[in-house]
Amino acid sequence: MSQTVGFIGSGNMASAIISGIISSKMEEISLLAYDIKQANYETLSRKGVQVCQQLEQVAKADYIVLAVKPQNIAEVMENLKPIINQDAVIVSIAAGITESYLCQALGYEAKVVLVMPNTPLLLGQGATAMSKGNHTGNQEFEFVRQLFALSGAVEVISKDKMCEIIAINGSSPAYIYLFAKGFLEYAKKEGISEEVALHLFTASLKGSASMMTDSGHSIDELIKMVSSPGGTTLAGLDVFYQDNFTDTIIRACDACTKRAYELSK
């Protein structure tokens, strides 16, 4: 059965999701996109996406992806309310936006799927958390899950943890990049080529991630495997321990979550 998936907003995240769908060659899916700026229309059109001049065209889709910033949601909902296909599944990727807010803004018990993706979707290596709204069918939710699975890993979580999960997968790439920056700055200080350091450090990240998922060892066991008593690794770890590194990460995650609730609607 043919399905239409319409995107309101055509920025990086929307483009990444669209690219995943197109590259998968999923059959019987028609893609539409509407964006006030229209900056990506030419690129999307070349990919086979129907670019829309009017919001009404996307409003009639079977699945409507809200790929706009949280601060723009209210305006989008106001414009959608009188024209929306009320049987459509509303897929929100905006941080902090709740099912109850979307239903209230639209004026009916809308079918909602809340999604928190991250920017590695741009490379087809994303990590997406999602939850099913009260009025969304299982088949409809599974269809949305499959769309995001085309661009990386997907986990289903409870709706009441959609703000908390942001720090884990949505914002964590920025924290990882900052962590990496420290190692690259150290390499620069020691006269090591940035290219060499970046290659070795990113390979270490990928390998460490695989060890966490595939080795069968716990995080503490993996740390111990690298840390010989009296050795170099332990000398560095002692600095992290003295500076309460884990506590710093938790405090950063708490701050991220607090801000999500402040933005929440």
Give the per-residue pLDDT at 1: 65
Distance CA 87, CA 83 (A): 12
Q: Name the segment(s) of the chain with CATH classification 3.40.50.720.
A: 3-162
CB count within 10 Å of CB 124 equals 14
**Backbone dihedral region of 183: left (phi > 0), alpha (psi from -120 to 50 degrees) or beta?**
alpha
Distance CA 20, CA 33 (A): 15
Task: Name which CATH class applies to 3-162.
Answer: alpha beta
**CA angle, 153 then 159 then 261, to 5°:** 105
Task: Show the tokens assigned to 19.
Answer: 């690219």
pTM of this prediction?
A: 0.91
Q: Name the segment(s) of the chain with CATH classification 1.10.3730.10.
A: 170-263
Give the per-residue pLDDT at 264: 82
**Which of 1.10.3730.10, 3.30.390.30, 2.60.120.620, 2.60.40.10 would CATH assign to domain 170-263?**
1.10.3730.10
Ranges in the chain, pLDDT < 50:
none
Give the per-residue pLDDT at 28: 82
Predicted confidence (pLDDT) per residue in 241-256, tens digit: 999 999 999 999 999 9
Predicted confidence (pLDDT) per residue in 159-209, tens digit: 999 999 999 999 999 999 999 999 999 999 999 999 999 999 999 999 999
Give the per-residue pLDDT at 263: 84
